[in-house]
Structure 1
Amino acid sequence: MAVKYIPFFPEPIEGQALLNNFNRTLRYRGVEDLSGRLRRGMPYYEVETTEKVGDADTDNMIIRGECLSACAYLKEQGIKVDLVYIDPPFASGADYAKKVYVRRNPKVAEAISQAETELDIDELKAFEETMYGDVWDKEKYLNWMYENLVAIKSVMSDTASIYVHLDYHIGHYVKILMDEIFGEDNFRNEIVWKRTGAHNDAGKYGIVHDTIFWYSKNQEYFFHEIFIDLTEEHKSTRFKNIEEGTGRKFYPGPITAPGSGPSRIFRGKELLPPAGRHWSYSQENIDELERQNRIYYSSTGTPYLKEYEDEYVEQGRRVQSIWDDILPSKTGNELVDYATQKPEALLERIIKASSNEGMLVADFFGGSGVTAAVANRLGRRFIHNDIGINSIQTARDRLVSAGASFEVKEVKDGVRLYRNPQQTMDNICRLMPGMKNDDSVDEFWEGYISDSKLGKVPVYVPNLMDSSSKLLDEVMMNRILHEAIPELPSDIKKVIVYYVDITSEEEIYKFINEDKSVPKDFVELRDLKVVLDDVVAEDYAEYKVERATEELCGKKIEKEGFDIEITKFVSDRVLQKIYDFNAKNMGADKKKKFNPISISKEGLETIEYLSVDCTATEGEWHSDSEVKIDKLGYVILNGQKTKNFWDAKIYAPKQPLRLKIRNICGDETIFVL
């Protein structure tokens, strides 16, 4: 149960905006569900600091949790954000997967000898698992996005801007929502980002761009013009005129702007501006430009402003609303193996344009951590928020490598996710004894359980990817009683309703009984968190802790610190993934030989990351030493890349108190030493 609910700001308009093209008025759908949630406010839960990295006194944060809960926390703490960039799901209808690479086993002599040669990426053993699903019902997506955007607005400073990155699937609908939430007058730009050179889309023009909507919260906002280098093509086609006497190349640029205005005197002659436009300069400034020979006259006597090539080359070309000069990085240090990663150059442009050093930049669908990484590099403070553990770990490791200071926080909403909401939903049914999926029950129900006395018992499971379904209150129960249950076959004698959060189990049962639409005991309520606790099982490790040694003159001598050697590691979750992968691919393509993935008895090749805490035996984590093994087997030691292969050890500078091990799928387990 949420500790309390934090009101949105300002008072939101009830419902989801849809434009009626005939009379230009806004009408609303889903008012009953969405407006109730908006009136109730953002759910505020306890937020726990799980790790501190770098300087203790820092405003930088990584928050694991939903956007709504993160915004509720920020608002409760009085934290205001100066710039927001979000790259939310695009409602693309696709599932996004992460490629999971099995590491080298340092305990196998053959693997050690192979370590002398670089493995080609295609030779690595790998399997895929879903990071998140981007399959949405349009109405649910827009209601979800509306709620998130209102929450984000509630924590934006008065001069803040927001950039929302989408594509053709849903962007045009979200633009209407943003007009309502932020105001049409605060719309600044629709930015077209050309993300690739060509795309082979059968039967239509190749789709090569995304759209970024930029809104400010108010009329006062920060914007710094961005200039880029001129291309040779641009220079040769633009600066064709040559000034007599100096030989300087120039371009005759406009000297008017939109909006009517009075006449001005040019070369002793009064000239009216073109209809609907005005002269850009006062008479005094025009006279000064004349003295500087900065005004060019066409053959018809129309004045233009000389824009010199040499000045343009020094300053560069002003960035326009079509960005075709930034392509996704396919190689290089910034790649972090994240499916929807955006290039740093894209975020650098946005952050430089709409913020100053020291300002707070937030990304509430943080993904690969690019926003936080670039903000940190540019001297801004940052907030990275995401619900998936892969995102949190990717951003955390990326920021450690950059030398950033930050705190990692987790929203304690009672839900123990299995890596991310999508994978959790995929695993829930497996943990419910007798649970089956069947088309005989409506899609509202996750499936049914067979009971020897009652027959089929439909089961409702809230969608963990939809925050609106997590709370079981009277509104939700009323929908179940009067919309979902009547659609069931007449021979159904009982249903099971799982919940993540509930107003009060006693009150809901009372509501059901007073409703009298179903027989007594027809509805059984169950807490989904009990099931989720079984989803997140701990990994097993064997290890030994010894005084650290080093070799000197052919002898091993003790040195300061300790070595922790991992002798065995077992992750049932990873092994199950590998088993499923092998079973799926065995014999799938008879023309191509399939080599199943095998894991050694030590299991060390399923370890991705280790960290030692020499500071505390409980509470927030302090990483006094850490080792990450990249997919090629090289060690990243305390954030710095090396060309060394992992030797199954991690060094602790002081007496180690706790050991954290992350498996290759991203699950982390802490062992008290």
Structure 2
Amino acid sequence: MGRGAFEHNYQSLRVPALSVPAYDLQPTRLALDWPTPTALSTVHLFCADNLRLARWLLQGQQRFRLIYLDPPFASGKRYVARVNGGPGVAAAVVPAYHDDRAFDDYLRWLEPRLVIARELLTDDGTLYVHLDWHAVHYVKVMLDRIFGRQRFLNEIIWCYHGPSAITSAFKRKHDTILVYTRSRNYYFNADAVRVPYDEATVRTFRSSRRAGFGKVPDLARGKVPEDWWYFPVVARLHRERVGYQTQKPEALLRRILLASSAPGDQVLDLFSGSGTTGVVAAKLERHATLCDIHPLAIEKTLLRLRRLDPLPAVALWRYRQDHNGAADQMATPLEGVHRSEEER
């Protein structure tokens, strides 16, 4: 995760109430010393088991136009974070979270969270599920069952560079984001994510009006990106990284939020980690609900949100059954989920 000039990023905003053993019958709002907000966005930040919270949101008739899920990947690894760094002070390495369930247990654990995510979408809502090679093909089949194959929208490939010790295969340097919609009438703002045409394409059309077989694109308008995206990983973005392994780059979430939500919309992230979804949502004037069961992830998110200008309004909540994050780990999928022909 790096050392040196950016050690000051590897801190966390300590909230002792997140680390005490707790059994919360309802979400408990925690006191938070927060400056006067100056932004139009609100972030509700929950330290909670995400399935338990999702059921509570569903009971309260909460719905979201965009849900982004970045669950553990079934990587078999244990991840760490860096904390308490500063000028001339090396950050300490502490445990962050485990991703070492048996694979079948992992799939049983993930499925009910995907089922309820569909129920939490608005009629024009979209779900993005971020995975990699470990489990994505199994989860694709699962999502086809939950949403119906007709509601599959995209398989986005996020490509990146980075060191790798692999010498017996091609280097694994991409993640896969599966995109599903709640109905055929989903929201998608193509103009918000247009990018410039490649210079070679511009030169080609300038040299010959026949280059596109009679079709001439609006070169000044730009194009909607393909389903493969290149963004650097956070390890290469020194000013973004906060010492939390698996942190995602803001540019990746920015494209997702611009495409599938509008200012003022409600966005949900049930595996929020270091809070990139909330940070980008606040910058884009969306309202975010974030959830992570690990206090360290919540504290990292709070620190990132507090550094924003303009500053969003933030509400901090705890909704846990214990302080180890053991609640609802092996809950069974919801029963009786039916899709109407219109939804299909």
**Cα separation, partners in 2 of 1:393 and 1:75, compared to 1, 3 Å:** same
* CA drift at 1:199: 4.0
Q: Say which of 65, 75, 78 aligns to 1:95.
A: 78
Alpha-carbon separation, structure 1, partners of 2:274 and 2:51: 20
For the 8 Å contact 1:58–1:407, the answer to whether it is kept is: no
Paired residues of 1:48 and 1:412 also in contact (CA < 8 A): no
Q: Report the Cα distance in structure 2 between the residues aligned to 1:318 and 1:251, rounded to whole angstroms.
A: 19
Deviations 1:505-532 (A, max 9, x none): xxxxxxxxxxxxxxxxxxxxxxxxxxxx
List aligned pairs for 1:201-240, cutoff 5 A.
201-225=166-190, 226-236=193-203, 238-239=204-205
Deviation, structure 1 residue 242: 2.6
1:368 aligned onto 2:274: yes
Q: 3-state DSSP class of the match of 1:362? A: strand
1:393 to 2:299 alignment: yes
Deviation, structure 1 residue 416: 2.7
- Counterpart CA distance in 2 for 1:306 and 1:339 is 45
Give the Cα–Cα distance (whole angstroms) in 2 for the partners of residues 333 and 99 of structure 1: 15
- Tell me the TM-score normalized by structure 1: 0.42
Q: Distance in 2 between matches of 1:240 and 1:200?
A: 44
Q: Does 1:408 align with 2:297?
A: no
SS in 1 for 2:242: coil
Aligned: 1:242 with 2:150: no
Task: Name the residue aligned to 1:252.
Answer: 212
2:124 aligned with 1:159:
yes
Query: 1:469, 1:165 → 2: CA distance?
Result: 21
Once the 2 structures are TM-superposed, how far is the Cα of residue 368 of structure 1 from its aligned partner? Answer: 1.1
Q: Does 1:343 align with 2:323?
A: no
- On the 8 A contact 2:49/2:327 being kept in 1, the answer is no
1:524-573, Cα deviation, whole Å (9 max, x unpaired): xxxxxxxxxxxxxxxxxxxxxxxxxxxxxxxxxxxxxxxxxxxxxxxxxx
Residues 298-377 of structure 1: matches in 2 within 5 Å? Answer: 304-307=214-217, 311-312=218-219, 314-324=220-230, 326-329=231-234, 330-377=236-283
In the other structure, the counterpart of 1:175 is 140
Structure with more strand by fraction? 1
Q: Which residue of 1 aligns with 2:62?
A: 79
2:96 is matched with: 131
Gaps of 5+ in 2: 1-23, 333-344
Which residue is equivalent to 1:458?
A: none
Q: Distance in 2 between matches of 1:232 and 1:58?
A: 37
Q: CA deviation at 1:348?
A: 0.5
- CA displacement at 1:399 relative to structure 2: 1.3
Which residue in the other structure is 1:70 paired with? 53
**Structure with larger Rg:** 1
Question: Which ranges of structure 1 fall in alignment gaps of 5 or more residues?
Answer: 1-43, 104-117, 244-249, 254-303, 422-463, 471-673
Contact 1:80 1:157 in 2 (8 A): yes
Aligned to 2:29: 49
Residues 408, 201 of structure 1: alpha-carbon distance in 2 compared, 3 angstrom cutoff: same
After TM superposition, give the deviation of residue 176 of structure 1 in Å: 0.6
The residue type equivalent to 2:253 in the other structure is L
Q: Could you say which structure has the greater relative contact order, defined with CA pairs below 8 angstroms and 6 or more residues apart? A: 2
| 1:218 CA drift (Å) | 1.0
Residue-by-residue CA offset, 1:435-467 (whole Å, 9 max, x unaligned): xxxxxxxxxxxxxxxxxxxxxxxxxxxxx2762
- Structure-to-structure mapping, 1:259-278, within 5 angstroms: none
- For normalisation by structure 2, the TM-score amounts to 0.81
Change (3 A) 1:195 1:465: farther
Q: 1:539: which partner in 2?
A: none
